[in-house]
Every structure is written in structure tokens, then in C-alpha cells.
Structure 1
Amino acid sequence: MFFLDIISDLELGKPGDRRKPEKRVNGVFWIILLNLGIYVADHLFKFQGIQSLYLYHNWPAWYQFITSTFCHANWKHLSSNLFFLYIFGKLVEEEEGSFALWLSYIFTGAGANIVSWLVLPRNAVSVGASGAVFGLFAISVLVKMSWDWRKILEVLILGQFVIDKVMEAAQASTGLFGLSYPLQNVNHIAHLSGALIGVLLVWLLSKTPSEPLDNEISSSPRKRS
């Protein structure tokens, strides 16, 4: 009976033990599906209207700074971005929720495109979620910031892998638009700016005043039974 009680405790937990309910993750899958859907419509079905979503630096429409983050040059470009989008998007959504994930994706992706548009030549065309991916990477690191040496080592190892693979995939799209200047320069700008904008977003949100939940509970009127 003693061993049965131990097994029961291990499997079911102790009586009265309250576990934090897991957050349901949906937002990252919708973003992935949207990226996949636009890619299929663009590259498989060849819908002409999809290319109007690209960011054309010579005369961009305002919405292209956002819509181009859901467009990709080829399958390698898309698959690499979706892989890291799932990892870091899921981390952000688990910590902050679906709305924060969508806000982070759009804010960092569009911000990276704005910086690229300001810096790059006017014959450039920008597509891809790389800026948003680097933004989500920065945000996921900051929201889980810890001085635990294992966490720091994990971030360093994963970080260099992210930079290497996303750069490689983005450079594979060089031939799509026939740009006359090295595309890796474009990627450096978009990736770095996406990460910095992610840091800025976390800093701005950290400055937003919010009352602790305990204060709200203690200050609310209680009904007597």
C-alpha cells in the first residue's frame, strides 16, 4: 500500500495541489497558415494580385510594409522562416498570449521593412518574415530572461543557429528579383532592425503601468454569504 500511495502521488499529484493551467496556443498556427496560403496562391496558382503585396521600394503602398512579411521568394525561404516562427512565436504566445504574438509579428516585421525602405536603393523589392522572426526571437529571449547559466548557453547556441539558417534561406532568394547588389546586405538590415524593434517593443510595454492582481482583488468589494 505504501508504494501504491507513492505512485499515486507521482501520477496524480498531491491532494490540493493546484497546477497552473496551460495556455492554449492558436495564434502562431494561424500566422503559419496565412504564410503558407499566400505562398501557395503566389507560387503554385500564380495569382497575379499576390505580387501587389510585395514591398516595392520605388513607390510602396502603406499596406505593403505589413503584407510583404507574409510573402516569400521560394520554398527554402519560407520553410526556414516558418520553422523559427513556430519556435519563437509559440514561446511568445505561451508567455504573453495570442494578441501579443500578432502585435509582435506585425510591429517587428513592418518596422524592419520601414528601416529597409529608408536605407536600401529604390530598385529593391522586399519579401519575407525574417524581420518578424528576429523580432520574435528577441522578444522570446527578453520575456524569459534569466541569469541561469544554462538559459544563457541555450540562447547563445540557438541564437547563432537562427542567424545562420535564416540568413542562408534569405540569401537563397537573391535570384528572384535579379537585384544588382548583394542581398545579404538587405538581410542584415532587416534582421538587425527587426530584433532591435522587438527589444524596443518589450521596453515600451515594460514601462506601461499595471496594477498587481493581488491589489485588484484586495481592493474589490467582497460579498458576505
Structure 2
Amino acid sequence: MNLLHLNHYRPQWWQWVTHLFCHANFAHLSGNLFNLCVFGKMVEETEGAVGVSLAFLVCGIGAAIAAFFLTPALVHGRITVSVGASGAIFGLFAVSVATRLRWNLKQLLEAAVLGQFVVRQVLEEAKNQATGGLVLGGLAVSHVAHLAGAAVGVALVLALSKLPPA
């Protein structure tokens, strides 16, 4: 399994994707699966199955790139690795809100409700990053990846909104 984790010291090309499907423990996996069911479904409603899949991958890889460049490769002599889909999930948080910002009362209400949740999550991640981060079950949480995933999600929606309609 260690070959599937994103190794920050000597990454392999496949690890940029495979780490999204590895998790530290069952709580990590179940939390990400729950959020994927909720927010993935919301993105699927507006963007379809291909859209949610591509958003997941783009946000997850974008989050990994940020974590790779902003996190030391070695900490206390141990190689840093990234596992989990949390960065991709934060991207789906952002995409689910950004795709609902339309002049339609129902979608604006959905965006307001979802938006307050997403803003609270992002602010909590920023606070945790600024105060040194959380360690859960002996493992450091990558707040950088979470924040980057959300930023990539917003950037993705903005970039795609500039494309001409098909």
C-alpha cells in the first residue's frame, strides 16, 4: 500500500492519483465517503457523472500539488506522505456552491445554505493551518491540501464558466 501513497520525498507518477483512494484509517475513509455522497451528488446534479469525476480528480491532484510544494518532504527524519481524498472533497464543497450561484431562487437558497457550511469549513482549515495544524490518531492533517482543493474547485468553475456553451 505504501507505493500508492503520495511520497513527498520521491513521488512516482501514479501516486498523484492513487493516494486519493488510500486512507489512514476507517474513520478517514468513512468521513470522506459520507462527504462524497453528499457533495458529490450535488455536483452530479448540476454537472453530471463525468463532471463530478473530473472535478474530483482535478481538485484532488491540485490539492496534492499544493501539499507537495508547501509541506516539507521530511519531518523529524520521516518521509511525508499524503493519503486520502479530503482535498478533492473540499474541491467538491466549493464546486457544489459555485455551480449554484445562478439567478434562480432555489439555487441561490441552496448556495446560501451550502455556502455557510463551506465557508465555515474553509475558515476552520485556515485557522488550523495558522495555529500549527491538527494531529488525529498520530497523523498530521494536511490543511494545505484542504484549502488548495477548495481553491482549485473555485478556479475550475470560474475557468469552465468562461468557455463558450457547447
TM-score relative to the length of structure 1 = 0.60
1:172 correspondence with 2:136: yes
Answer yes or no: is the 8 Å Cα contact 1:76–1:172 preserved in 2.
Answer: no
Q: Which runs of 4+ in 1 moved over 3 A?
A: 146-153, 160-165
In the alignment, is residue 64 of structure 1 matched against residue 15 of structure 2?
yes
Letter in 1 for 2:143: H
Match of 2:36 in 1: 85
**How many Å apart are 1:197 and its aligned residue?**
0.5
Aligned in 2, Cα 1:131/1:58: closer, same or farther, shift over 3 Å? same
Q: What do residues 59-91 of structure 1 show as CA deviations (whole Å, max 9, x unaligned)? A: 001111111011100011111111111111111
**What is the distance in 2 between the residues matched to 1:140 and 1:152?**
8
Trace 1:130-145 onto structure 2 (pairs within 5 A). 130-145=86-101
Structure 1 portions without partners, runs of 5+: 1-49, 177-182, 212-225
Q: Which runs of 5+ in 2 are unaligned?
A: 75-79, 129-133
| Count of aligned pairs | 150
1:75 to 26, 39, 53: 26
Cα-Cα RMSD? 2.3
1:96 maps to what in 2? 47
Check the 8 A contact 1:84/1:162 in 2, yes or no: no
Q: Which structure is higher in RCO with an 8 Å CA cutoff and minimum separation 6? A: 2
Query: Helix, strand or coil: the match of 1:83?
Result: helix
Q: TM-score, normalised by structure 2?
A: 0.80
Q: Which has the larger radius of gyration?
A: 1
Q: 2:131 matched to which residue of 1?
A: none
The residue correspondences of 1:100-119 to structure 2 (distance < 5 A) are 100-119=51-70
Matched, 1:54 2:12: no
2:113 maps to which of 154, 159, 167: 154
1:101-143 Cα distance to aligned partner (Å, 9 max, x none): 1111111001100111111111211001000000011001011
Moved more, 125-134 or 200-209: 200-209
Counterpart code for 1:158: F
